[in-house]
Structure formats: structure tokens, C-alpha cells
Structure 1
Amino acid sequence: MTLEDRKIIHVDMDAFYASVEQLDAPELKGKPIAVGGSSQRGVVAAASYEARKYGVRSAMPSVTAARLCPDLIFVKARFERYREVSQQIREIFLDYTDLVEPLSLDEAYLDVTENKLNYPSATIIAYDIRRRIYETTGLTASAGISVNKFIAKVASDYNKPNGQKTIVPEEVLEFLEQLEIRKFHGIGKVTAEKMYQHGIFNGADLKRKPIEYLAEHFGKSGVYYYNIVRGVHESAVKPDRIRKSLGAERTFSDNISSEIFMMERLDQIAEEIERRLAKNKVAGKTITLKIKYSDFKMQTRSKTVDHYIFKKQQILEIATELVRQESFRESVRLLGLSLSNLNTEDKEEEEPVEVQLEFKF
């Protein structure tokens, strides 16, 4: 079987957190809502499509979101509920294939080249999965179908919400050549602006650039860009992705500047990390302290030890060192801790996992 024979589906739930909240509270349906934060503080974790029409997006400061959409309704995040629904969706995926690679609670790759129901069409499988998700959970999903993960993910954004798009092998090159450069998965706003400066506005422009040129101006990523615009992306769907980092963070309702207050918050964060380390049966050697100041500038401080740690007190001792490493130049609006260099490094890599804690101070 060649790579062009693969049938990959990327399933992406539509505004997942916000849609779950609207499902459980019918009075929120049709209204602009933001999950997480408040009108004064915090960060938006997710926004409903009604809120997105005003420009509200995830990771946006809540104050900005409230300014863009004065009628925005803020809803507290309920991650246990989201995990419950996500597990229902995961079970549907597994009815079709064991090759399921979750990216988060609301999206996953599926390799259905050889599937449990012996369906010949990945397009039909995607329709069936989306139908079952709706019948089971009341939520809608979008899907992209193609020969590799990169193209499938790009395709899943095409007909959102509640739609899907298939890019068959003979359409791949033309599709990529016509694709706007900012729609290439992995090319963010900053990189897109840089590409514009080099006369690269779509896939065809990118394809005209020699690999040496792309490597010179975009480093190692240049080789990646050279390949993906030619439909070359050999990454397999990995059902057993192993966590490489585990962390938690907290945005405060009021900025803090006292070291005593900071240590109180870090004590609670370290306790949460210990719980999650125990649940996942992992330990690590590197502690990273994440600091966001009142002016929204970010700083990280890290320390690596020669032994694995997994207890709250061990984590807190190193966090204390990092706090006292240098004085804080501004008051602090967010603190986070993460543990990396885990005892899973001999396994396949997974993207870092961080959780926004919901402590009330």
C-alpha cells in the first residue's frame, strides 16, 4: 500500500465547550457565550459561533472579548463534563478503527484505510461518524478526509460548522496550490506575514520556491513547507501518544505582587499536578515556572534535577527556587507550573498538556 492509498479522517467538534454548555442549558442556545474567564478577568477558553461573529476567539483576554461583544455571556468551564462527552465520542470512533489519535478532547485523527466495518469509502465513514455523534450527544462535528493528516486537518475547516470535505488523491496538488497560505495548518499569523514579504500568498507561490530558499529563510520549517505543498506528509496516525509534559496554571481575579500570595497559589497548583502525575503514573525531572505579568508579557524559568520527582513538596521546593531566582518586575496575573523530561521519553511524543485551574481565591 502506498501513502496515496491511505484514508485519513480528521474529526473536529464544532465549538465543543460552548456547544456542550448550550446543549445543557437550552436558554443559552443562539446566544453569544464564552467559556472561561469573566467580563473583568481571565482568558476565553472557547466561544460559541454566535460570539465568533463579533471576533471573540479562544485564548483572547476576557476584557477584550467583552468589549467586542457587549452581550457576551461568560460561562464557567466544566472540564469533567467535557471529558464525559469526549469519551462518548471516542467510543464511536473505536467502532470503526483502533487507529485513533486524539489531539484534544474535541478532535482526533482516524486511519480508516482498513476499518472494522469494511466500508470502502472514508467519506461515507465520516458521514456515519458525524451522524452517530449527533444522535448520541446532540452535538455537531465537522470532518476532513484525505490521504494524510495534514490535508485532512486543513479540509475539516473548510465546511465548518457541521460539514465535511474530501480531498481525493488526484485533487491533492491542485487543492494545495490554490490554498491561501494562512490556511496551511502550522502556518500562524507571524509566519504568514513573513511569507507575504517573500511573495508567498498561496500554495502555488510556495511551490515555486526552491527548498534551499525556504530553508534559508524559514530554517528547518522550510523543508516541511516544501514537502507539505507537494502533498508529502508521512506521519502515521498514532493511537498511543505519550505525554511529554504535564502542567497546570491559574489566572487570578486580581493581580498579585506578594511572594507569600504567590507561594499560596503555587502550593495549590503543585497539589493539582501531584494528583495528575499519580493518575497518569508518570514523573519528571524538569520544572518550569510560567509567569504572565499585568502587562501580559510572559516569562518562564526552569530547573532540571538528576532524579524523577512526582510529589507536591518536591515540586514546590523547586518552584520556590524559581520564584526567588530574580525579582518580579510587575504584578502577576497568571502563574503556572509544568513538569517535563518525563519517564516516558522512550515512547512516542505527545504535545504538552496544560489545564486551566478553577480555584477560587
Structure 2
Amino acid sequence: MAMEKSREKSSSDSIQTQSGTILHVDMDAFFVSVEQIRRPELRGLPLAVGGLGNRGVVASASYEARAYGVHSAMPSGQARRRCPEIVFLPGDHELYQEVSGRIMEILRSFTPLVEPLSVDEAFLDVSGAHRHPVEIGHLIRRRVLADEGINCAVGVAAVKFLAKLGSKLAKPTPTPEGPSPGVGVFEVPAGEERAFLAPRPVTDIWGVGPVTLAHLNRIGVATIGELAEFPLERLEQVVGKAHARHLHSLANALDPRPVVPDTAPKSMSREETFARDLHSQEELGAELVALSDSVASRLRAAGMAGRTITVKIRFNDFRTITRSRTLASAVDSGVVLAREAKQLLKAVDVAPGVRLIGVGVSELEDPDHRQLSLDDVGTPLWHDVDRAIDRIRDRFGGEAIGPGGTKAAGPGTTGWLRPN
């Protein structure tokens, strides 16, 4: 008994001490959603993307088709028998890759730590972000919908396994009357992982297929809680040593795998959509200061700096333009980014009204490799100030200090201050 209690305490401590907050973002019926954007007349219909012949398979199905039991990997002939009125479309994978690339860039605008799993899902590590991870999840959903017209679900947890399970639980549910909306963002709170998992079926664990399920059923294990309490030594005899350890760890919410980006990010950006159109350089300049500060903070957290600064402007008629400038040396200072961004903005007539503005930095490199250029002569170097700001935020939170003149700081201020 004492040994069992010690093992339980060790598992709990391992969960609590794992660093980082992980998001799993999963598009809803991705291929179908892309096709419905291209052909809006197909919205609301039972629709599938996949092989057209009887020997083909379903790659993606709309929620209207899922209400008939149609799902991915199902033979096309079986899908037609279940839903005779289903509409089949051939896949356009070049288009799907193009849309996926834009979505992945949206995700990278929130954190450089993005690990794509496929064209329609990815893990994100947002432990360095200043916003609450659930808030980031909702922001991601709104941004993907606004920019690409596609809904997605987000799972939030301390480990990958639970984040992926969370996104599954956040999705809509197919019904004969149409899809029933899901919660959109599902969080498994830290410290509640084992209690959350305990009543769930063992099939929610990665690696529990029909064969493993049959083995677990024979030993009376139906829920994840029962699997977590089952003696590991006996489990090894049933399903093998390696598989048993994998299942036992996940059942106890232990998943040490970090988010591993596939490549170094090519750019970082932030943008803001306004509740009302902005018409003045002053208002938009204040927004650029806040956005530049956020991008610079993320650059420093990732150990990067960039040479090309881009301002994105979307007008009230949805016309979108960008203006860019490449500097002689890479920068990671919010002050410098804001200065250059506001210079780019000055060349744009904003009187018609701006609904969205953004700041991006590309041509990223290691800031330790940059050299002092002539542009820096006579200009304050903000390195020490930026690092001091980072230390304050690490200790007191992201809102503890901000650039003067922004909404958070209040009007008429300069420099850096801590808001009241």
C-alpha cells in the first residue's frame, strides 16, 4: 500500500512539474471546408472528398455526411450506401497545401513553437506567451475563421496527449438536424488530469486499437482510471513490456514529449482587427507600438532577430496591402520595430478607414551574429532596456510593463511604465 501511494505521488508530481502549456489545433473537416469555400452552394449538404470510384476511400466528410455514419477512411461504396445523396468531390491537394501553409503561418504568429502533424492539425507550445492559453485558443479560432473561413477546435493541456484529446472534445457533433456546435476550446486544467481521464474509455488513449482493446477487456480494464491503477507488471504480461509502459504512462497523464517545430520559423507577426475602423495615423501608430512590442518580445524569447519589417493594412472594404523595409542589421527591439513600422505607415492614406493592422518581421537570424551598422550610430541601443523589460514580465506577468502611449499605458505617456 505504501508503495502504491508513493507511486501515485510521484506520478502527480511529474504532471505538476512538466513545463509548458500545449495547444492542439485541429481543423474541422478540412478538405470539405476548403471545397465549400470554393463552392458555397455545397454548404449544408452531405459532402465527401475522396476517391470517386467504388474502390476509393473517403478522405474527409462533412458533418451532414457524418450524421449518416460516413467517416474518413471508409470505402466510397459503403459511404454511398449509407448516404445515397452524398456528393463526392475529387481531392485538390495542391489547394489544400496552400491553405494549410497560410494556416500554419497564422499559428506561428502566436508562437514560433509550432509542430505540424498534418495539413490540418498542429501542436503549439505557448508557455512563453503573455496571454492565458485558453484565450489564445479562442483568438486562434477567430483568426483562422476570419482569414480562411474555416472552423477549428483547440485543446489546451500540459501534455500533448491531453491537448489532442481536448481538441477532439471541442469539436461539433453530427446530428440528423445538422452539426451541433462544440465548445471550440476545451481545457484540461493543470492538476486535474487524472481525475479527468479516470472515467473515460481506454479507446481514448493512443495505441488502443481493436487488438489491444480485446486484451484489456479480458483483464477487466474498460476505463482509463482502471488502466492507471492496473499493476504495470501484469499489464506487461498481457500486451508486452514497451506497449504496457506506453499505455500506463498515458493513463497517468504522463507524456514528456515536447513540441518540436519542423523548421525554424521564417517570420513572426502580430495583427489586430478593430471593433470600429480607425482613420488616423495617431490611433494606428499607437496600435503599431503595442504590436511591435509583442513581436519583439516573442523574437527575444525565441532567441531571434529580423531584418525585414512589414506592415499589413486591411481597409474597411477588405482591400489589403503590405509595406516593407529591410534594415542593414537584424533587430529584436520593440522600440526600433515601432519606429520603422510607423515610418512605413506614414506613406499610406488611412483616411478611408482601417479595420486591421499588423506588424511582421522576417529574414530571421541569431541576434548574436549581427554587427553594428551605420544606422545604429548616434541611436540608443535598446538591448539592456529590452532585457530588463523581459525580466520584469517574467517575474510580474506580461501586463506588468508596456510601451508608453498605448491603450494599456494611457494617453500622453512616453517611454516605459507600469500601468496602474
TM-score, normalized by length of structure 2? 0.55
In the alignment, is the contact (CA less than 8 A) between 2:215 and 2:238 conserved in 1?
Answer: no
Q: What is the CA distance between 1:44 and its match in structure 2?
A: 1.1
2:255 corresponds to which letter in structure 1? H
1:218 corresponds to which letter in structure 2? V
Q: What is the CA distance between 1:39 and its match in structure 2?
A: 5.0
What are the within-5 Å matches in structure 2 for residues 42-57 of structure 1? 42-57=56-71
Match of 1:150 in 2: 161
Whole-angstrom distance in 2 between the partners of 1:196 and 1:56:
27
What are the within-5 Å matches in structure 2 for residues 240-259 of structure 1? 240=262
Q: What is the CA distance between 1:3 and its match in structure 2?
A: 4.2
In the alignment, is the contact (CA less than 8 A) between 1:143 and 1:156 conserved in 2?
Answer: yes
Whole-angstrom distance in 1 between the partners of 2:164 and 2:17:
16
Match of 2:274 in 1: none
In the alignment, is the contact (CA less than 8 A) between 2:47 and 2:64 conserved in 1?
Answer: yes
In the alignment, is the contact (CA less than 8 A) between 1:4 and 1:169 conserved in 2?
Answer: no
Classify the secondary structure of the residue corresponding to 2:48.
Answer: strand
Residue 140 in structure 1 maps to residue 151 in structure 2 = yes
Whole-angstrom distance in 2 between the partners of 1:66 and 1:87:
32
Whole-angstrom distance in 1 between the partners of 2:137 and 2:232:
35
Q: CA RMSD in A?
A: 1.8
Classify the secondary structure of the residue corresponding to 1:34.
Answer: strand
Match of 2:109 in 1: 95
Q: Equivalent of 2:33, from 19, 42, 50? A: 19
Match of 2:307 in 1: none
Match of 2:293 in 1: none
Classify the secondary structure of the residue corresponding to 1:158.
Answer: helix
Report the number of matched residues.
239
Bigger shift: 127-136 or 170-179?
Answer: 170-179
In the alignment, is the contact (CA less than 8 A) between 1:126 and 1:143 conserved in 2?
Answer: yes
Whole-angstrom distance in 2 between the partners of 1:124 and 1:89:
18
Match of 2:93 in 1: 79
1:133 corresponds to which letter in structure 2? V
2:137 corresponds to which letter in structure 1? A
Bigger shift: 159-168 or 51-60?
Answer: 159-168
Match of 2:252 in 1: 230
TM-score, normalized by length of structure 1? 0.63
Quote the sequence identity (%): 41
1:216 corresponds to which letter in structure 2? Q
Give CA deviations for 1:238-260 in whole Å, capped at 9, x if unaligned.
1027xxxxxxxxxxxxxxxxxxx
Residue 186 in structure 1 maps to residue 207 in structure 2 = yes
Match of 1:62 in 2: 76
Specify whether residues 105 and 3 from structure 1 end up closer, same or farther in structure 2 by C-alpha distance, changes over 3 A only: farther
1:79 corresponds to which letter in structure 2? H
In the alignment, is the contact (CA less than 8 A) between 2:48 and 2:65 conserved in 1?
Answer: yes
Q: What is the CA distance between 1:224 and its match in structure 2?
A: 0.8
Give CA deviations for 1:269-316 in whole Å, capped at 9, x if unaligned.
xxxxxxxxxxxxxxxxxxxxxxxxxxxxxxxxxxxxxxxxxxxxxxxx
Q: Equivalent of 2:135, from 124, 144, 148? A: 124
1:240 corresponds to which letter in structure 2? D
Whole-angstrom distance in 1 between the partners of 2:151 and 2:161:
22
Whole-angstrom distance in 2 between the partners of 1:45 and 1:158:
21
Whole-angstrom distance in 2 between the partners of 1:201 and 1:155:
20
Whole-angstrom distance in 2 between the partners of 1:164 and 1:185:
21
Q: What is the CA distance between 1:218 and its match in structure 2?
A: 1.2
Classify the secondary structure of the residue corresponding to 2:110.
Answer: coil
Residue 239 in structure 1 maps to residue 261 in structure 2 = yes
Give CA deviations for 1:53-75 in whole Å, capped at 9, x if unaligned.
11111111111111111011110
Classify the secondary structure of the residue corresponding to 2:164.
Answer: helix
Classify the secondary structure of the residue corresponding to 2:192.
Answer: helix
Q: What is the CA distance between 1:208 and its match in structure 2?
A: 2.1
1:70 corresponds to which letter in structure 2? P
What are the within-5 Å matches in structure 2 for residues 246-325 of structure 1? none
Q: What is the CA distance between 1:183 and its match in structure 2?
A: 1.8
Specify whether residues 210 and 33 from structure 1 end up closer, same or farther in structure 2 by C-alpha distance, changes over 3 A only: same
Whole-angstrom distance in 2 between the partners of 1:153 and 1:11:
8
Match of 1:168 in 2: 189
Structure 1 unmatched ranges of 5 or more: 242-361
In the alignment, is the contact (CA less than 8 A) between 2:155 and 2:186 conserved in 1?
Answer: yes
In the alignment, is the contact (CA less than 8 A) between 1:7 and 1:145 conserved in 2?
Answer: yes
In the alignment, is the contact (CA less than 8 A) between 1:12 and 1:143 conserved in 2?
Answer: yes
Structure 2 unmatched ranges of 5 or more: 1-13, 173-181, 264-420
Residue 218 in structure 1 maps to residue 239 in structure 2 = yes
1:26 corresponds to which letter in structure 2? P
Whole-angstrom distance in 1 between the partners of 2:41 and 2:150:
16
